[in-house]
Amino acid sequence: MMKKHVAANVSWIGYLDYELKQFHGSEYSLHHGSSQNAYLIEEGKTVLMDTVWMPHEFDFLANLKEVMHGDLHKIDYIVANHGEVDHSGSLPLLMQEIPDTPIYCTAAAVQSLEGQYGKLGWNFHVVKTGDELDIGNGKKLVFIEMRMLHWPDSMATFLTGDNILFSMDAFGQHYCCPEMFNDRADQNVMWDEALKYYVNIVNPFAPVLKAKLAELKKMNLPVSMICPSHGVIWRDNPMQIVEAYEKWCSADNREDQVVIAYDTMWNGTEKIAHAIAEEIGRQSPSTRILVYNIADSDKNDVVAEIFKARAVAVGSPTEINDVLSSVSGWLTYVKSMKFKNKRGGAFGCYGWGGGASKVIQNRLTEAGFTVIPETVDANWNPKEEDLAKVPAFVQDLLNDGYKA
Ligand code: FEO
C-alpha cells in the first residue's frame, strides 16, 4: 500500500514516475523523472485531492481501494483542482466505481473534464474563490481560483487547521523525489527543476501570477505547508518558493549572462557564434556566456538560461530566403515564453541570397526582445572583414544599462 504521511490526517497517494523522460508529449524534457501528487484528507469527511495520469489509473485505483480498505464509497468528496490529464486522468475509471461522489472544481474545469472525457453525468459542484467546504473536526477547505496558472480551470485549495495549501501545478517541479519533502531533497536538483518548471510552464502567465500572488497575500492565509501537484512538498519554510516566484515574475530578473544560440550547415555560422562569445569575454569579462547549437540542445533547458540572461544572440544560415527549420521552430518556442526586458541580435552566413538575419530580427521583435540593428552576416564563409563587425555587435548587445 502506497500511502505516505504528509501531516496530521493528510497523506500522499500519488505516483512516482522515476523513469519518465518527456512530458506534454515531447514538449518538456525531464532529467529527474516526475511525480503526480494526489492527496487524501481523512477528517470527519474523507477527501480525495486530485488523481494521477491515465497510464497509471489501474495502479492508482488498486492502491486507493487498499487504502480505503476495499470501500471507495468512504470517499465523501473529490476535489479536482485542474482538468489536465496528469491529474484528472484516473477520474473516469474511479467515477465508474463511485459515480455519485461530488466533485468540487471550477466552472472551467467542468468544461475541460467533460471536453476530454465526455458528458458522463458526474456530480460536479462548481466553486469560486472564497467558497468553503466543511470536512468535519473543525476543518474546512477554502477554494482559490488560479485562472491561467496555467489553465483556465486551475484552482488551489487551502486546508484550515493544518494550514496546508494544495497549490496544484504552481510551485511544482518535474522531479521524482521519493524523500517527498523539500528539506530532504537534493537542493540543486530541486531549485533547478523549480526554475525550469516556472520558466516553461508559468512564466508565459507572469502578469497573472503577479496579481494572484498579491491576492493571496491579502487573504493572509497562515500557510505552514505547500503541497504542489508535482515534485517536493514545501514543508521547511514553505514561503521560500512563494518568494522565489515573486522574484521570478518581477520586471527585472536578469543576471549577467548572455546566451548565444545558433544552427549551422557548413560551420560558418558556428564560427561567428564563437567569435561573438570570445568578444563578449573581451568586452565584459564578468559576463557568463552560454553557447548552444539549437539543433543539439534541449530547448527547455536553453529557455531556462535565456530567462536568466540579459541578452540573446541568435544565428542561422540562410536557406531558401529563411532560417533553418531548427531555428524557426526554436524561435516559436522562445516567443511563447513571453520574455521581457532582454536584448537580442542576429547573425549568420549566406551564399547567393541572404535574409536569415532579417527573419531572426523580426521573430525576436515579435517575441518581445529589444533587437539591436547591427547584424554579423557573412557571404559564404566568414572572413576577416565579416568578423570585424563583431565588436560593434557585442557592444550594442551589452548596451542595456545592466548593473549587477
Ligand atoms: Fe500538472 Fe497542468 O498539469
Q: Would you call 298 helix, strand, or coil by DSSP?
A: coil
Which tens digits make up the pLDDT trace of 109-137? 999 999 999 999 999 999 999 999 999 99
Q: What are the start-end ranges of the E strands in 163-319? A: 164-168, 225-228, 257-262, 288-293, 311-315
pLDDT exceeds cutoff 80 at 62: yes
Which residues touch 264 (CB under 8 Å, ≥6 apart)? Answer: 270, 273, 293, 315, 317, 349
Which pLDDT value is given to residue 42? 98
Please compute the mean of the pLDDT values over residues 162-184 and round it to a whole number: 98
**Do β-strands 140-145 and 132-134 pair in parallel, antiparallel, or remain unpaired?**
antiparallel
**Ligand 1 neighbour 229 (Cβ under 6 A):** yes
Give the number of C-alpha atoms closer than 13 A to the C-alpha of residue 389, restricted to the C-beta side: 16
From residue 347, alpha-carbon distances to 249, 299, 312, 313, 315 in Å are 30, 19, 11, 7, 5
Sign of the CA dihedral running 33, 232, 206, 253: negative
Note if 82 is an active site residue. yes
Angle (CA) 324-367-400 rounded to 5° is 110
Give the whole-angstrom CA distance, residue 170 versus residue 183. 19
Q: What number is the average pLDDT over the span 178-201? A: 98
Which residues make beta-bridge pairs with 177?
A: none
Q: How far apart are CA 276 and CA 320, in angstroms?
A: 25
Count the neighbouring beta carbons within 10 Å of the beta carbon of residue 227: 27
- Average pLDDT for 228-233: 98
Nearest Cα to Cα of residue 196 among 174, 170, 212: 174
Chain Cα centroid distance, residue 252? 19
15 part of the active site? no
Question: Which amino acid is located at 117 in the chain?
Answer: Y
Query: Could you tell me what percent of the chain has a pLDDT over 90?
Result: 97
Percent of the chain having pLDDT more than 70?
A: 100
**Confidence band (pLDDT; 50, 70, 90) for 253?**
confident
Compute the average pLDDT of residues 69-82: 98
Taking residues 308-331, what's their average pLDDT? Answer: 98
Atom nearest to 154 CA in ligand 1: 2
Rounded Cα–Cα distance for residues 58 and 349 (Å):
54
Which atom in ligand 1 lies closest to the alpha carbon of residue 151? 2
- The stretch 86-91 carries a mean pLDDT of 98
Rounded to whole angstroms, the Cα distance separating 117 from 84 reads: 11
Q: Please tell me the distance between residue 84's alpha carbon and the centre of ligand 1 in angstroms.
A: 5
Tell me the angle at which helices 325-336 and 356-366 cross, rounded to the nearest 10 degrees.
10
Going by pLDDT thresholds of 50, 70 and 90, the confidence category of residue 161 is very high
With a cut of 90, say whether residue 2 has pLDDT above it: no
What local confidence, expressed as pLDDT, does residue 394 receive? Answer: 98
Active-site residue 197, yes or no? yes
Q: Give the active site residue among 17, 43, 57, 86.
A: 86
Residue 402 has pLDDT above 90, yes or no: no
Say if residue 1's pLDDT is above 80.
no
**What Cα–Cα distance (Å) separates residue 195 from each residue in 36, 104, 236, 247, 279?**
18, 30, 18, 11, 29
251 pLDDT higher than 80: no
pTM to 2 decimal places? 0.96
Q: Which of 17, 153, 169, 319 is catalytic?
A: 169
Contact 170, 194 (CB under 8 A): no
Q: How far apart are CA 211 and CA 144, in angstroms?
A: 13
User: Is residue 230 annotated as a catalytic residue, yes or no?
Assistant: yes
- Ligand 1: which atom is nearest the Cα of residue 36? 1
Residue with CA closest to ligand 1 atom 2: 84
Residue type, 220: N
Active site residue 150: yes
Q: Does the active-site annotation cover 87? A: no
Whose C-alpha lies nearest to ligand 1, atom 3?
84
Query: How far away, in angstroms, is 36 Cα from ligand 1 center?
Result: 9
For the stretch 42-58, pLDDT in tens is: 999 999 999 999 999 99
Which amino acid, one-letter code, is at 78? I
User: What is the structure's pLDDT at 404?
Assistant: 79
Q: What is the mean pLDDT of residues 88-95?
A: 98
Catalytic residue among 24, 59, 66, 298: 24
Which of ligand 1's atoms lies nearest the C-alpha of 201?
Answer: 2
For range 17-21, the mean pLDDT: 96
ω into 150 cis (within 30 of 0): yes
